[in-house]
Homo-oligomer: A and B are copies of this chain.
Amino acid sequence: MAKETKISMAIIRRLPRYHRYLGELLNSGVTRISSQELSKKMGVTASQIRQDLNSFGGFGQQGYGYNVKDLYDAITKILGLEKTYNSIIVGAGNLGQAIANYTGFQSWGFKLKALFDVNPKLIGLKIRDVEILDVDLLEDFVSKNPIDIAILTIPKERAQEIVDRLVAKGVKAFWNFSAVDVNVPDDVIVESVHLSDSLFTISYRLNEDELFKKIKEK
């Protein structure tokens, strides 16, 4: 069982959205916003936003709303984005390379220390100055370079094995893109991105009207 959170994951998942919207407001030069406006912009009720923020001590003032910069900074800290994190990517195929090439993550303090792969054609290449290493070197590398987050962009058949090897070396957080739920001890964090789950919500929604027409006819 992966590490449990003190606050519900539903709230935690809204925080990055709040952060993103507040960042956009800041960029547009907005300095104050009422909870009603913020709520309208984000499609969440004002009381939901207030409740979510109260989980962390509360922000904003009655009759004034929120100071955009202060709230943005507070959520930046809550999300741990004022720190830096060392990461590795295991699986240097297209998806691994896409993540390695995305400079946005680096600018938020997520530092990429190495990629790993089994493919001899990839080993030795560099992505933005970060080398692709032989996956056989995984334990050795992680022993010498403390890693906060391991990003898994490998086929599902390999995922559990790689997780076990990294957990044994003390890695405490995984960003898992493999199409399988991996097992970890209860002090380890796993955030899985199941792309097919996301895609299937689209096919569901494309068919929903027809589906309920059929259910009604029964």
Contact = CB atoms under 8 A, between A and B. Distances in A.
A206 B189 contact: yes
Interface centre among A148, A193, A211, A212 (most CB of B within 10 A): A211
Interface in A137-188: 148-149, 172-173, 175, 179
Contacts of A9: 201
A64 interface: no
A215 B175 contact: no
How big is chain A's contact interface, by range?
35 or more
Interface stretch (A28-36, A65-73, A101-109, A114-122): A101-109
Contacts of A218: 57
A124 to B, nearest CB: 19
Number of copies of this protein chain within its complex? 2
A110 to B, nearest CB: 7
A146 B193 CA distance: 29
Given A94-B97, A104-B179, A20 B194 contact: yes
Contacts of A195: 99, 102, 193
Given A17-B197, A93-B98, A204 B105 contact: no
Contacts of A94: 94-95, 97-98, 101
A7 B211 CA distance: 11
Leading 7 A-B pairs by shortest Cβ distance: A94-B98, A80-B207, A16-B197, A80-B203, A95-B98, A16-B200, A94-B97
Interface of A: 3, 5-7, 9, 12-13, 15-17, 19-20, 56-57, 77-81, 83, 85, 93-95, 97-99, 101-102, 104-105, 108-110, 148-149, 172-173, 175, 179, 189, 191, 193-208, 211-212, 215, 218
Given A3-B205, A13-B197, A80-B200, 20 more contacts: A5-B205, A15-B201, A16-B194, A16-B196, A19-B200, A57-B218, A77-B211, A78-B211, A79-B200, A79-B204, A80-B206, A80-B207, A85-B203, A85-B206, A93-B98, A98-B98, A110-B199, A175-B202, A189-B205, A189-B206
